[in-house]
């Protein structure tokens, strides 16, 4: 029996399809193919796409450059979901068109917060004692 799971427990197929969807969405936004003023005036990173096990739902994690106007960018993406879903369905060969759900990627904010904590005087004091 072949093992097709990553250490995190997600199958290689889910990761591969998620990466294909991420690539298509990134390309659409980069080329300005979405006719929306907000999306055309902001650089948006698609940081990750997580597919549901049945490949019918995709959670798309996004981050505008420098975190600017995050709410406006999310609203614009959600207003253009139908167009984006059609394009993804056309470019990624799947049995069903995945429903896209756009959410803000908080991992950068968490990383910055952890970094700030590690650099704080209180933590530095503990580290220096070792």
pTM: 0.76
**In contact, 21 and 98? CB cutoff 8 Å:** yes
Looking at residue 89, what is its pLDDT? 93
73 assigned to some structural domain = yes
Looking at residue 106, what is its pLDDT? 82
User: Nearest-CA neighbor of 27 among 51, 49, 57?
Assistant: 49
Looking at residue 2, what is its pLDDT? 46
113 assigned to some structural domain = no
Domain of residue 58 covers 12-105
Q: Summarize pLDDT for 61-92 with one digit per residue, the tens.
A: 999 987 778 999 999 999 999 999 999 999 99
99 assigned to some structural domain = yes
17 assigned to some structural domain = yes
18 assigned to some structural domain = yes
**In contact, 81 and 74? CB cutoff 8 Å:** no
Number of structural domains (the chain) is 1
Q: What is the CATH number of the domain that holds 54?
A: 3.30.300.20
């Amino acid at each position: 029996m072949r093992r097709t799971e990553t250490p995190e427990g997600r199958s290689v197929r889910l990761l591969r399809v998620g990466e294909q969807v991420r690539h298509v969405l990134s390309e659409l936004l980069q080329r300005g193919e979405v006719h929306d003023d907000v999306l055309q005036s902001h650089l948006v990173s698609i940081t990750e796409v997580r597919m549901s096990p049945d490949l019918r739902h995709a959670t798309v994690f996004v981050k505008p450059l420098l975190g600017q106007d995050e709410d406006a960018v999310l609203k614009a993406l959600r207003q253009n979901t139908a167009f984006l879903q059609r394009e993804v369905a056309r470019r990624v060969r799947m049995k069903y068109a995945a429903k896209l759900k756009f959410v803000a990627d908080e991992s950068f904010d968490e990383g910055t917060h952890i970094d700030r904590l590690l650099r704080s005087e209180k933590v530095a004091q503990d580290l220096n004692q070792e």
